[in-house]
Amino acid sequence: MATVRKIVLLGHFGVGKTSLVRRYIDSQFSEDYLVTVGVHVKKKDVIIDDEKVTLIIWDIEGNNSIEKTRNSYLLGSHGFMYIFDVNRPESYNTLQTELDYLNDNFNGVPVCIVGNKCDLFTNDFNIDFFKDSIYKDCHFTSAKTGDNVEAIFRDIAKRIQ
């Protein structure tokens, strides 16, 4: 019997939450922007340390603050992924505040920080830009190319098993 774990994807609108889920679940990417209204729930079975784990992935609508998110979406979560767009400072400028909120209200629930759209990095704007300690455990992904997408879901699955 599989262990079932709920993962909620958080972050501003347009940071690529839905694209990351589509890449992970369906191995697909679309340039078309799909607005998530409410929540989309997807499921994927994975093997972690020889144990079957069913990930129930909640792709919720984007908000400028987690505090604006419906509390019912967050209840019962085993793990969070906080996604930001590496090219949109407004999507990561309040990262510490958002992480503090999660820690205060969901203490002990692991959070995976994800900087998405790293395929848009340039020589002048790249991973070195994110040197602050808050980004030390951050994963940098690209839903478009698939870079590091499997790794972020594997990381959170290991941490919540």
pLDDT per residue as tens digits for the range 91-138: 999 999 999 999 999 999 999 999 999 998 876 666 777 888 888 889
Spatial strand order of the sheet with 111-116 comes to 39-48, 51-60, 3-10, 79-85, 111-116, 139-140
Q: What is the pLDDT of residues 37-56, one digit of tens each?
A: 568 899 999 999 999 999 99
Reading phi first (left if > 0) and then psi (alpha if -120 to 50, else beta), residue 38 is in left
Cα–Cα distances in Å, from 72 out to 15, 30, 106, 107, 146? 22, 29, 13, 17, 30
Which residues neighbour 36 within 8 Å (Cβ) at sequence distance 6 or greater? 17, 18, 59, 60, 61, 62
pLDDT, mean of residues 72-89? 93
Q: Report the sign of the C-alpha dihedral through residues 118, 124, 127, 131, in that order.
A: negative
What's the pTM value of the predicted model, to 2 decimals? Answer: 0.90
Every domain of the chain and the residues it spans:
3-160
CATH-assigned architecture of domain 3-160: 3-Layer(aba) Sandwich (3.40)
